[in-house]
Chains A and B, each alone.
Chain A
C-alpha cells in the first residue's frame, strides 16, 4: 500500500516537474522574447490610441484601414489580451527558469575546482604541452606567476594548479534575473497603488488630483492637498525660440494653509509627499481686453511663435489680436477675405489703450497656462533597484569566464613536462590566443629541455592541440 502510494506520488511529482520544465525551457524564452519584440514593433509602428488618441490612427491609415487597426487591437496593442498573455508567460518562464536553472548555478560556484592529472588536462578543449630543464616546482611557480599577471586567481597543490579568471562574470545571469524579477515587482506595485495625470493650469488656478489616471488604488490613496500656480513664465533664446519654462507652485493643505512653495522648470520637478509635479508644456491661453471699459476675455491659439485670437465683427471683417509673449505689446489686425494679408491697425502695450473709430480698446495682458504633469509612483524605489541590478548583471555578462588547469611531471632525465589546458565559454578564440602566448612566453623565458635527444615519450599523443 505504502509502496504504491510512493510510486504514484513519484509519478505525479515527475509529471509536475515535466509540466514546469516546459516553462523553464530557454527555447520558450527565445520564442517569447521574439514574439514580444514583434508585438512592441507593431506598437511602435502604429500610433497608439492611449498615447496620441484615435484621430492619429485615422490620420495615419485613412478611413479604410484605420477601423481594422482598431478592431485588431493594433492601435492599442499594449492592452490587448495577446500582449498581456505574452508578458504573463514570460513572467512564469522567468520565475521558473530562474529557480530551476539560473540560481542553482550559484551553488556550483561555491565548490572549488578539482585538480586534474596530465591526461585529464590534455582532454580539455584547449591544451598544450611544454618541456623545460628546470624542476617541476620551479616550473609551476613560473606558470602561477604568469597566470596571476594575466589576472587569474591561482590555487596550487604540489605540482598541479587550477586557475580562474572572470569568475565574477558567472554571477551575471543571477543578478540580471533577480533584477528582472524585481522590476516586475516594482511595476506591479506602481500600477496597483500609484496615480498620474496631466493638466493645463491657468495662472492663479489650482491643480487637484481627483481626475487623475489611477487603477483601483487598492493600497494607495489620492492626496487631500492641492497645488496653486502663483506665477509662470517662459524664457527665450535670443532667436525667440523657447529655452525654458518656469512655474512657481504652492502646495496648500485642506485648510488652504501654505505648506511648501517652489519654482519648477522642465527637468526640475517639485516633490511633496511622494507626488512629483513636472513642467511639461507651456503656452499663452487668454488675453484680457476691454471695449469701452467693458471687459472681455478671449482664448488664444498658438500660431508658430505667436499666439492669436480672432473676433469676427461682421460677416467679412475679422479683428485679429496677436501676442508674442507675456510682457510685450499686443498687435491688432483687421482682415477681409479680399485682402491678401491682414492690415496692422496698431500696437497696444499692457495696460494701455488704442482708439479704433469710436471704440476704446484696452489691453489688460495675456494669461499663461502651464502644463503640469504629475505622478505618484510608490514602486519606484524597487523599480530603480531593479534597474541597478539589471545594468550590473548585463555588464558582468560581458566578462568572459576562463578556467585553466596545469600539471607538471618530471621525465626522469632532469626535465619537466608541463601539461596545460583550459576552457572558456565565451571568447574562445581570445582564450586560445592567451594560452598560446603564455606558453610561448614560458618557453622563451625558461631554459630548454635538458636532453634534446630524448625520444618522444608516452605523452607523444599530447601534441599542441588547440581545438576550440
Chain B
C-alpha cells in the first residue's frame, strides 16, 4: 500500500470520526446547531472525497478493480454509507441521521483496519474471481446494503421521535448483540455456536421486545412531523436499496451462469442475499398494506438491518461456509 493511498484512507477515517463528533456536539448548542450541522456535513464530504480518491488509487496501484477482499469491501461500504447519507441530506433535513451514518462508517473503518494485515495487502485473485462480472455484481450489492443500513438507522430515529424510547433502546440492544457477535467472531477464536446464538438470540429477543413495547409512548416526546420525515427517509432508502440488491443478485446469477454454468446453486452467501431480497420484498408489500403503522414498519426495517449485517459480515465471521468465502481469513 502506498503512502499516498494510506494517507487518503486515514483522512477518510478521521473525517468520519470528526463528523460524528460535530454531529453529536451540534445537539448541545442550540444556537449554533445549524452552523455545526453544516460543518459536520462538510467534514463528511471531505471524508467521502478522500475515500473516493483512495479507492481509485488502490485500483490503479493493484491494476485491477479494487474490490476483491473484505478490507476493500469495507472501504466501499464506508464510502457508500457516507455517500448515501450525503445524497439523502441533499433533499431532507436529517442531522440526527448524520451521526449515526458517520458512526457506521467509522465502525467499518475500524473493523477493516483491525483485520489481519494479509487482508490489507493487495493480493492476486483466485481464478474464479478473475472476471469483469465482479465489478458489475459486487458494487450494487454493497451500495444496497449501505442504503438498507441507513434505512434501519432512520427507523431507530423514527422510534425516538415517536416517543417510543424503550422500543428504540431494545432495537439498539439487538443491533449491539449482532455487532458484538461479528466482532468476536472476527477477532477471537470463540466457538461459532455461541456467536450464532448471540447474534440470533440477541436479534430475536431485542426485536420482539421492542415490538411489544411499541404502545409505550410518551406523548410529550412525540414529534409527528419528524416521525413522518424519518419514515419517508427510511422508505426512500429501501426504494433505492431494493433495485440495487435486485441488480446485484441477478448479475451474480448471470456471472455464475457464465462461469460455472448455473445461475443459482443455493450457495450459502447466495441464499443469504436471497433472504435479504425476500425480506425487503415482504417489507415493500407490507407498505402496500394499509393498516400497518409506521412504527411497526420501523421495527421491520431494523430487522432488515440485522439481516443485512448477517448477510454482509455475519456470514463469514459466524462460521457459515460456501463459495463466496473470499472474506474468510481464520
Contact = CB atoms under 8 A, between A and B. Distances in A.
A303 interface: no
Query: Interface range on chain A: under 10, 10 to 19, 20 to 34, or 35 or more?
Result: 35 or more
Nearest to B125: A243
Interface in B258-286: 258-263, 265-269, 271-272, 274-275, 278-279, 281-282, 284-286
B228 to A, nearest CB: 6
B128 interface: yes
Interface stretch (A6-14, A33-41, A127-135): A33-41
B320 to A, nearest CB: 6
Contacts of A427: 232, 235-236, 239
Given A266-B130, A278-B261, A429-B229, A398 B285 contact: no
A426 B279 contact: no
B258 A29 contact: no
B246 A51 contact: no
Interface stretch (A109-117, A312-320, A387-395): A387-395
B107 interface: no
Interface string A257-291: 00000000011010000001110100000000000
Contact of A373 (B196, B229, B260, B281): B260
Contacts of A276: 261
Nearest to B246: A394
B243 interface: yes
Contacts of B228: 428-429, 468
Interface in A367-421: 373-375, 380, 383-384, 387, 390-391, 394-395, 397-398
A22 interface: no
Interface stretch (A234-242, A326-334, A447-455): A234-242
Contact of B243 (A34, A373, A391): A391
Contacts of A37: 274-275, 278-279, 282
A34 B278 CA distance: 7
Candidate in B127, B233, B274 with the most chain A CB atoms within 10 angstroms: B127
A266 B129 CA distance: 9
A235 B309 CA distance: 37
Interface stretch (B8-16, B75-83, B96-104, B247-255): B247-255
A193 interface: no
B240 interface: yes
Given A37-B279, A387-B253, A426 B133 contact: no
A309 B232 CA distance: 65
B261 A266 contact: no
A243 B281 contact: no
Query: Interface range on chain B: under 10, 10 to 19, 20 to 34, or 35 or more?
Result: 35 or more
B189 interface: no
A266 B134 CA distance: 13
Nearest to A396: B243
A78 interface: yes
B324 to A, nearest CB: 11
Interface in A34-86: 34, 36-38, 40-41, 43-45, 47-48, 50-52, 56, 78
Interface in B73-99: 91-92
Contacts of A217: none
Candidate in A30, A52, A244, A266 with the most chain B CB atoms within 10 angstroms: A30
A35 B252 CA distance: 24
B221 interface: no
B146 to A, nearest CB: 16
B260 A397 contact: no
A429 B232 contact: yes
A20 to B, nearest CB: 18
B279 A267 contact: no
Contacts of A48: 266
A306 interface: no
A430 to B, nearest CB: 6
Contact of A375 (B126, B242, B261): B261
Nearest to A187: B264
Contacts of B258: 267, 269
A196 interface: yes
Nearest to B276: A37
Interface string A210-252: 0000000000000000000000000001010111110000000
Contacts of A243: 124, 127, 130
B248 to A, nearest CB: 10
A391 B250 contact: yes
B148 to A, nearest CB: 14
A324 B288 CA distance: 61
A5 interface: no
B311 to A, nearest CB: 9
Contact of B281 (A33, A269, A395): A33
A23 to B, nearest CB: 14
Contact of B279 (A33, A51, A241): A33
B131 interface: yes
A409 to B, nearest CB: 31
A184 to B, nearest CB: 13
Interface of B: 91-92, 124, 126-128, 130-131, 133, 196, 228-229, 232-233, 235-236, 239-240, 242-243, 246-247, 250, 253-254, 257-263, 265-269, 271-272, 274-275, 278-279, 281-282, 284-286, 288-289, 315, 320-321
Given A37-B278, A426-B239, 8 more contacts: A33-B285, A40-B271, A47-B321, A237-B124, A241-B124, A243-B127, A266-B128, A387-B253
14 contacts: A26-B285, A30-B286, A34-B278, A37-B282, A41-B272, A43-B271, A44-B275, A45-B196, A241-B126, A243-B130, A245-B127, A373-B262, A395-B243, A395-B247
Interface of A: 26-27, 29-30, 33-34, 36-38, 40-41, 43-45, 47-48, 50-52, 56, 78, 196, 237, 239, 241-245, 266-267, 269, 276-278, 280, 373-375, 380, 383-384, 387, 390-391, 394-395, 397-398, 426-430, 433, 468
Task: Give 8 closest A-B pairs by Cβ, nearest first.
Answer: A44-B271, A33-B282, A37-B278, A375-B261, A429-B232, A398-B239, A44-B268, A394-B243
